[in-house]
Amino acid sequence: MIDAAGGTVYGYGHSSGAVLALEAALRLGDKVRKVAIVRL
């Protein structure tokens, strides 16, 4: 979807979703502008 939209994304993950957000950022590289992770 990022390629189809022709842009970049901001990622957010909470708890175990934070791991997924970080993994996505690693795999997508320059397509991810920022990542916010939260652990409560």
d(CA 4, CA 7): 8
Boundaries of every domain in the chain = 2-38
3-state secondary structure of 6: coil
pLDDT reported for residue 19: 93
pLDDT reported for residue 40: 75
Q: What is the pTM of this model?
A: 0.74
pLDDT reported for residue 6: 83
Q: Which residues contact 39 (CB under 8 A, 6 or more apart)?
A: 14, 15, 18
| 9-19 burial: b if 16+ Cβ within 10 Å, else e | bebebeeeebe
- pLDDT (tens digit per residue) in 1-40: 888 888 899 999 999 899 999 999 999 999 999 999 998 7
